[in-house]
């Protein structure tokens, strides 16, 4: 009776041993065709075949180009006074501005005292224009278009 039990159990234990050995293998194949497929896949170049997981994120909106328009303004400098206390005044288009103030279009003015007294007008986009008393200058600059 023991001999019959050993005969029946021995193939079962051998099968378990084979399963354990098979589990330690990293690649199993059953036919030469499967082996060719595995080898061809193993030696393929990975360039361009990397697949990234699809992320469920909101698609970013495309960046809108900043639209700008060109603005041209005429400034007539009718007078410049230089004060000894440092407060200089400029008359532009019949309006008086103190040194360092801004015009209605956000251009900055600066009185330059040297060999010749001049006013420097710096436009909102950073361009500088120079004028003296009695001159009319045309300034051109770019501003962002509203609503775009």
- Enter the tokens of residue 86: 């440092």
Q: Answer yes or no: is pLDDT of 38 > 70.
A: yes
* Between 41 and 112, the higher pLDDT residue: 112
Q: Answer yes or no: is pLDDT of 120 > 80.
A: yes
Dihedrals phi, psi of 37, to nearest 5 degrees: -65, -45
Supply the pLDDT for residue 49: 54
Task: Give all strands (DSSP E) within 14-145, no chain letters.
Answer: 68-81, 89-92, 95-98, 108-112, 118-122, 128-131, 136-144
Distance between CA atoms of residues 97 and 79, nearest Å: 11
Domain 68-144 CATH (choose: 2.30.30, 2.60.40, 3.30.1360, 3.30.450): 2.30.30
Please return the burial class of 92, using the count of CB atoms within 10 Å of its CB with bins 0-12, 13-18 and 19+.
Answer: buried
Percent of the chain clearing pLDDT 70 (strictly above): 63
Supply the pLDDT for residue 107: 93
108-112 vs 95-98, strand pairing mode: unpaired
Residues 97-125 as b/e (b if ≥16 CB within 10 A, e otherwise) read bebeeebeeebebbbeeeeeebbebbbbe
Q: Answer yes or no: is pLDDT of 131 > 90.
A: yes
Dihedrals phi, psi of 41, to nearest 5 degrees: -70, -35
Q: Which residues pair with 91 in a beta bridge?
A: 79, 96
Residue ranges of the chain that CATH labels 2.30.30:
68-144
SS3 state at 34:
helix
């Amino acid at each position: 009776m023991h001999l019959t039990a050993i005969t029946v159990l021995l193939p079962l234990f051998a099968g378990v041993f084979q399963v354990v050995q098979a589990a330690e293998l990293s690649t199993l194949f059953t036919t030469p065709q499967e082996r060719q497929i595995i080898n061809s896949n193993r030696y393929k170049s990975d360039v361009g075949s990397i697949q990234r997981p699809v992320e469920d994120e909101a698609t970013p909106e495309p960046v809108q180009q900043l639209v700008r328009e060109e603005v041209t303004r005429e400034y007539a400098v009718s007078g410049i006074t230089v004060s000894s206390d440092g407060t200089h005044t400029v008359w532009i288009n019949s309006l008086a501005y103190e040194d360092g103030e801004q015009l209605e279009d956000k251009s900055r003015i600066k009185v330059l005292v040297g060999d010749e007294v001049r006013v420097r007008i710096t436009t909102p986009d950073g361009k500088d224009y120079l004028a003296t008393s009695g001159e009319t200058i045309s300034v051109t600059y770019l501003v962002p278009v509203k609503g775009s």
